[in-house]
Amino acid sequence: MISETTTAAAAGTWKLGDREVNRLGFGTMRLTGNGMRGSTDDAPTDRDLAVRVLRRAVELGVNHIDTAAFYFSPLRSANELINRALAPYPDDLVIVTKVGPGRDPSGEWLAPTTPEQLRGQVEENLRQLGRDHLDVVNLRRMDQDSIAEHFGALAELRDAGLIRHLGISSVKPEHLAEAQAIAPVVCVQNWYGLDHRLADTNGLLDSCGEQGIAFVPYFAISGDRREASASDTHDDELLAVARAHGATPAQVRLAWTLHRGPHVLAIPGTRDPDHLIENVAAGALRLSQDDLARLQSLHRSGV
């Protein structure tokens, strides 16, 4: 089912606030060469290749791009790549960034950000992206019990016109309730996938759907491997479903994610132009109830 003509529109659409996006988006973390951890044995990403991948994503109908100022390696910055590749930005493009964690120029993680420091992070994203406002800013929780002060600080920046819409990331259900009491939340971005379903166990995914909030999984393909490359070994049931559809296991994982609800989006990232085409084409893959039942059997309790 891989097709170079399939566009992101095949996955359907959802609204992030007043901005409509295709449910199949693109995450930029892998474009920097070493994700968020700041260390890898991988060769640096070729800058021109990264730019071509971003431009090709937009050509394929991707209009939801996920990024962060702390997505950088010694030679590459995700925001800088986005700016170089896509500015002046298409009118329908929604760039979603996140704030909270911070890294020094060497890549080392800094102490937890205070609410007062969030404005500086927002302004850094504005500068790097070359924009006068940010479409959506997610507050990435830094393991604190309450996000009220930090989210309240972002709500003030929204009121000041620096941010259009707000989201939250790496949160529990109680944090969503806490944020919603302060300002509207348009998206929740959490770790979720076929082999990591905490958002099912704690009800967060369904709660987002009931409130009309987008649920945006990260690591939907790599799963428990997180920032590492996706595994090349797969469960027999997953392989059987993939063979039945003439699809790759990664495409089935993405399709399963999108089948979790019309409010569920996907932001797979890649540095490989061919993988980009495969990921976008996954938005056209329709799984049967039998397929879904077979994949459901892969669920491990407690994750």
Spatial distance between the Cα atoms of 134 and 40, rounded to a whole number of angstroms: 30
Which run of H or E residues covers position 99?
strand 94-99
Spatial distance between the Cα atoms of 171 and 81, rounded to a whole number of angstroms: 28
Q: Is residue 224 within 8 Å of 195, Cβ to Cβ?
A: yes
Spatial distance between the Cα atoms of 72 and 300, rounded to a whole number of angstroms: 33
Tracing tokens 């020094």 back to the chain, one arrives at 104
Asked if 71 is an active-site residue, the reply is: yes
Spatial distance between the Cα atoms of 195 and 4, rounded to a whole number of angstroms: 28
Spatial distance between the Cα atoms of 295 and 303, rounded to a whole number of angstroms: 15
Q: Is residue 17 within 8 Å of 55, Cβ to Cβ?
A: no
Which residue of the set 71, 89, 192, 218 is catalytic? Answer: 71
Q: Is residue 190 within 8 Å of 220, Cβ to Cβ?
A: no
Q: How far is CA 103 from CA 100, 134, 204, in A?
A: 10, 20, 29
The DSSP output letter for 24 is B
Spatial distance between the Cα atoms of 256 and 33, rounded to a whole number of angstroms: 27
Spatial distance between the Cα atoms of 252 and 247, rounded to a whole number of angstroms: 7
State the catalytic residues.
Answer: 71
